[in-house]
Amino acid sequence: MTERTAQPYDHFPSTEWTWLATRVMEAPRDARIAAELRTRVMERYAQPLRIYAKGSSLGWLDDAEALVNGFFASRLARDGYLLKWFESAMPLRRFLANGMLLYLREERRAHLRRERRNGASLDAMFEQGADALTAPEDARAFRELERAWARSVLGEACERAQAELEAAGRGHAWRVFERHFLEGVTYEDAARELGLREESARPAARLAQAKVREWMKWLLALEGVSEREMEEAIADVQRLVGE
């Protein structure tokens, strides 16, 4: 392969879906690409999965950090694991949550075997929750995972939009957007604080809002969301952040 001249995420690929599909298909044969994709997944999902592990019915197995590290080592290290996700047409957060639950069940079985060897009673194992396979807390834990994921997507989109606007000398657009949409300040007050005319504050904020939306679409496309599904996915992020 030819060496890439730009950092992986510093520009918009011409078609994000095609770019992602190509990378996922190449990963089993290219260790560098596989490592790049694994790093991206871990950066996005480490905290949401820790929240999921801690809140699940099997969170008693170990501390959340150790469980997530074990899951990543067990699953993401496998050649073709992300290819299975891509072929499943499943949202990445759902695919990883399902994988995490399967991993926790494997850990549960291993824990039971160790307990039996050490002579623990069935009653004691039951009290630990060792018989749990599905429980209401698992659904709640997945909702918390989704909320953490949505916050991370929106947060990164905002960071990238701000950096792009500031690099283009349009930092005032971000500041108006931040004051109005994120902090609830009126356009009139935001314009006065920033030394702008009120009639210029609205279009400036809309520019920043459009940039955030563009970056959200880019980030979601990198998680496998197709153009057909994009509006629904953006609405999901907004809804989850607002919950």
Reduced to 3 states (helix: H, G, I; strand: E, B; else coil), residue 174 is helix
Question: What's residue 53's pLDDT?
Answer: 87
Question: Is 234 within 8 Å of 220 (Cβ atoms)?
Answer: yes
Question: Is 59 within 8 Å of 68 (Cβ atoms)?
Answer: no
Q: Is the pLDDT of residue 4 over 80?
A: no
Q: Is the pTM of this model over 0.85?
A: no
Task: Find the mean pLDDT for residues 17-26.
Answer: 78
Question: What's residue 107's pLDDT?
Answer: 82
The pLDDT tens digits for 32-82 are: 888 888 888 898 899 999 998 888 877 777 788 998 999 999 888 887 888
Which residues 6+ apart lie within 8 Å of 161 measured at CB? 174, 208, 211, 212, 214, 215
DSSP 54-89: HHSTTGGGS-HHHHHHHHIIIIITSTTHHHHHHHHT
Question: What's residue 149's pLDDT?
Answer: 94
The domain limits of the chain are: 14-134, 137-243
Question: What's residue 19's pLDDT?
Answer: 72
Please state whether 63 falls in left (phi above 0), alpha (psi between -120 and 50) or beta. Answer: beta
Say how far apart CA 152 and CA 177 lie, in whole Å.
19
Across the chain, mean pLDDT equals: 80
